[in-house]
């Protein structure tokens, strides 16, 4: 297992420069008020209430946080010691508290996360970005400045459409070849032809960057469904995604493990079991941050997957973004699940 080596590397990883982009949201974490007995604890219970006689519900906002996949990923990268710049839709006072450099391109989405013990449910109050372009980004910085550094983490194609066009334009742009970790966001339910168009765009992006397609298990299965199957397991799905696009790697994160397929290797790294999650939303973004940090530092793939796993598990377990000391202590205190 690579976790013992990860503990040593975290203490000496330095401060890689990473850019994250392009979304942003104000996230309200809420509980649904039930009856005099207290809040509704599970999604099943909430569903039964909705299908029953009740026609109205109350909720309480427990916390409000700066969010969005790009912001959450940047939080993790910064916590691990990275020099981070986040480009997104961050025009709200709450983003002024962020401890890293931000560049805002407009108003954020408003998100309400209803927290249940089994899984969260998310509602978006205002329309998110309908189209994002490189021309828009150029209004706020030269591309050679935006994409300089040691890695790029890009997220949320599912909500920020227009990324395909930007990927094609970037494929014809002379920039430093660095890892480009791309998390498509929630794509479950997206049509296969739309997935196919996205895969064509990231194939073009590989001309400029070392592209890593990184998604959770259900998103990987949704992506692979657009390709010729059937597939025996998740590694076969990742291999098909990588072969279809010619990208550097296709990776998956899940509660029990992370996995990656590159041009010459296939790896699985067991994750840490979290018995009582504090947060169900945002763990994947911390995985992206941990993975991006490791790749920016030039670490091997087993360490990179382990770093992503540890960052995600720590966040889900505690509700906080862990720094190197937090993650090291977490690794020391408990064993990962067995493969």
Percent of the chain beyond pLDDT 90? 73
pLDDT(37) > 60: no
| Ranges 53-57, 164-168, 290-294: which has the least confidence | 53-57
Percent of the chain that is helix, strand, coil (3-state, to 5): 35, 25, 40
CA angle at residue 207 from 202 to 210, to 5 degrees? 70
Percent of the chain beyond pLDDT 70? 95
How much is the pTM? 0.93
Task: Name the pLDDT band for 124 (thresholds 50, 70, 90).
Answer: confident
Q: Exposed, middle or buried: residue 12 (CB in 10 Å: 0-12, 13-18, 19+)?
A: exposed
Task: Name the pLDDT band for 336 (thresholds 50, 70, 90).
Answer: low
**pLDDT, mean of residues 132-157:** 92
Identify any residues that bridge with 259 across adjacent strands, giving them in sequence order.
252, 268
| DSSP string for 237-249 | HHHHHHHHHT-SE
| DSSP string for 98-113 | -SSEEEE-SPPEEEEE
Supply the pLDDT for residue 20: 98
Supply the pLDDT for residue 116: 84
Domains, the chain, in order of start with CATH, read 3-27+66-110+127-333 (3.40.1190.20)
- b/e code 254-292 from CB counts within 10 Å (16+ = b): bbebbbbbbeeeebbbbbbebeebebbbbbbbbbbbbbb
Separation of CA 94 from chain center: 21
pLDDT in tens, 63-88: 999 999 999 999 999 999 999 999 99
């Amino acid at each position: 297992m690579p976790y013992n080596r990860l503990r040593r590397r975290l203490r000496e990883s330095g401060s890689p420069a990473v850019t994250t982009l392009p979304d942003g949201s104000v996230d309200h974490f809420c509980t649904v008020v039930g009856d005099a007995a207290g809040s509704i604890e599970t999604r099943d219970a909430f569903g039964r209430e909705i299908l029953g006689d009740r026609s109205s519900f109350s909720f309480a906002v427990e916390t409000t946080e700066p969010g969005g996949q790009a912001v959450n990923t940047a939080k993790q990268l910064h916590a691990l010691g990275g020099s981070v710049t986040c480009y997104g839709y961050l025009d709200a006072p709450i983003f002024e508290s962020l401890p890293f450099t931000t560049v805002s391109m407009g108003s954020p989405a408003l998100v309400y996360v209803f927290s249940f013990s089994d899984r969260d449910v998310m509602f978006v109050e205002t329309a998110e970005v309908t189209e994002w372009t490189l021309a828009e980004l150029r209004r706020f910085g030269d591309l050679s400045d935006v994409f300089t550094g040691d890695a790029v983490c890009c997220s949320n194609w599912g909500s920020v459409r227009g990324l395909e066009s930007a990927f094609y334009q970037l494929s014809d742009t002379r920039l430093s070849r660095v890892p480009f970790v791309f998390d498509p966001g929630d794509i479950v339910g997206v049509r296969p032809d739309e997935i196919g168009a996205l895969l064509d765009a990231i194939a073009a992006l590989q001309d400029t960057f070392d592209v890593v397609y990184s998604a959770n298990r259900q998103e990987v299965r949704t992506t692979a469904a657009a390709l010729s199957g059937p597939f025996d397991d998740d590694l076969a799905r990742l291999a098909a995604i990588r072969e279809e696009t010619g990208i550097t790697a296709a990776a998956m994160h899940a509660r029990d493990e992370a996995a990656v397929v590159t041009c010459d290797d296939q790896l699985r790294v067991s994750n840490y079991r979290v018995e009582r999650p504090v947060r169900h939303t945002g763990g994947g973004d911390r995985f992206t941050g941990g993975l991006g940090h490791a790749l920016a530092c030039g670490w091997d793939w087993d360490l990179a997957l382990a770093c992503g796993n540890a960052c995600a598990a720590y966040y889900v377990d505690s509700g906080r973004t862990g720094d190197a000391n937090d993650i090291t202590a977490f690794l020391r205190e408990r064993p990962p699940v067995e493969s």
